[in-house]
């Protein structure tokens, strides 16, 4: 699976970490491969040479996703035309068969890149789901084990930082401070007029509150300080609400407890 764990234990795609190198690979490797195949272009069928160029598209897609895959497909088609079709070292093509092969190379490269991207996305969603379940399980174990409320607040804040890729997160008991955009129970964010798309998910506002509820009343809130480049899926946001609910249940239980005579 082409995912990795970041410093907060969040599953992230390798493409996010390798986007810039992937663009370099996508732009330069097809040229290098085309030049390397010059020595055997008269001995190997042109279709096989084209398939070799498709490998570059797969590598670029695995490293960086759709953008590098598209770039690699275009550069691979141009390199195939330039190095491996007559007249050589020219972007013009003499043979109708070579024209068809070049077009097929471009189309196949784009399709293969898209398939790889979708496969990576499916794997990433599966890894993210497993990570979310693990976070809920960790907090539930801490709450069931009788962890003091203050320590549980910090533990939930740590899980929220990892889950939503936040810069910071802290708990405020009631009465809370200034009004902030709110992360609602359905995962939507209210109190903002515009939403920023990061390329895969919508980003949270720079600051947003996550209410902590218990027994039907608000007991406090988490203040989420978001990263400007990180998006948060609707599933991740609803898991964040579930994490806050576990703290709310503990706080509400403590508030309703009566001392033993």
Q: In the chain, where are the structural domains located?
A: 3-122, 146-256
The reported pLDDT for the residue numbered 31 is 93
Angstrom distance (rounded) from CA 161 to CA 19:
23
DSSP strands (E only) in 99-258: 166-173, 182-183, 189-190, 207-214, 217-226
Q: Which segments of the chain are extended strands (E)?
A: 3-5, 11-13, 166-173, 182-183, 189-190, 207-214, 217-226
Q: Long-range contacts made by residues 254-258, C-beta under 8 angstroms, separation at least 24?
A: 254/149, 255/214, 255/215, 255/219, 256/215
Tell me the sheet residues that pair with 218: 213
Taking CB atoms within 8 Å and a gap of at least 24, the contacts of 88-91 are 88/38
Residue 258 is predicted with a pLDDT of 40
pLDDT at 255: 61
Q: How far is CA 28 from CA 24, 101, 110, in A?
A: 6, 21, 17
Q: What confidence score (pLDDT) does residue 188 get?
A: 92
Closest to 66 in 3D by CA, of 118, 142, 1: 118
Q: What is the pLDDT of residue 110?
A: 83
CB distance 46 to 83 below 8 Å: no
Q: Strand, coil or helix: what is 145?
A: coil
CB atoms within 10 A of CB 61: 29
Say what the pLDDT of residue 190 is. 93
The whole-angstrom separation of Cα 136 and Cα 10 is: 13
Q: Give me the residues of the chain with pLDDT under 70, please.
A: 1-18, 199, 255-261
């Amino acid at each position: 699976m082409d995912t990795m764990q970041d410093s907060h234990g969040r599953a992230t795609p390798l493409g996010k970490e390798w986007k810039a190198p992937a663009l370099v690979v996508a732009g330069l490797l097809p040229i290098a491969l085309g030049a390397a195949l010059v020595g055997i272009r008269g001995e190997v069928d042109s279709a096989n040479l084209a398939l070799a160029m498709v490998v570059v598209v797969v590598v670029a897609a695995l490293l960086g996703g759709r953008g590098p895959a598209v770039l690699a497909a275009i550069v691979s088609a141009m390199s195939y035309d330039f190095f491996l079709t007559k007249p050589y070292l020219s972007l013009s093509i003499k043979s109708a068969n070579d024209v068809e092969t070049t077009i097929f190379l471009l189309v196949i490269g784009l399709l293969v890149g898209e398939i790889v991207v979708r496969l990576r996305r499916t794997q990433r969603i599966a890894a993210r789901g497993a990570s979310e379940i693990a976070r809920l399980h960790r907090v539930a174990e801490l709450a069931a084990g009788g962890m003091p409320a203050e320590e549980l607040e910090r533990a939930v804040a740590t899980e929220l930082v990892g889950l939503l890729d936040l810069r910071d997160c802290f708990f405020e008991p009631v009465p809370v401070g200034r009004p902030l955009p709110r992360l609602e129970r359905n995962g939507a964010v209210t109190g903002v007029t515009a939403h920023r798309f990061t390329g895969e998910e919508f980003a949270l506002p720079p600051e947003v509150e996550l209410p902590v509820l218990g027994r039907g009343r608000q007991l406090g809130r988490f203040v989420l300080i978001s990263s400007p480049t990180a998006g948060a899926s609707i599933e991740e946001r609803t898991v964040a609400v579930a994490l806050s609910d576990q703290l709310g249940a503990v706080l509400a239980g403590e508030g309703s407890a009566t001392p033993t005579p």
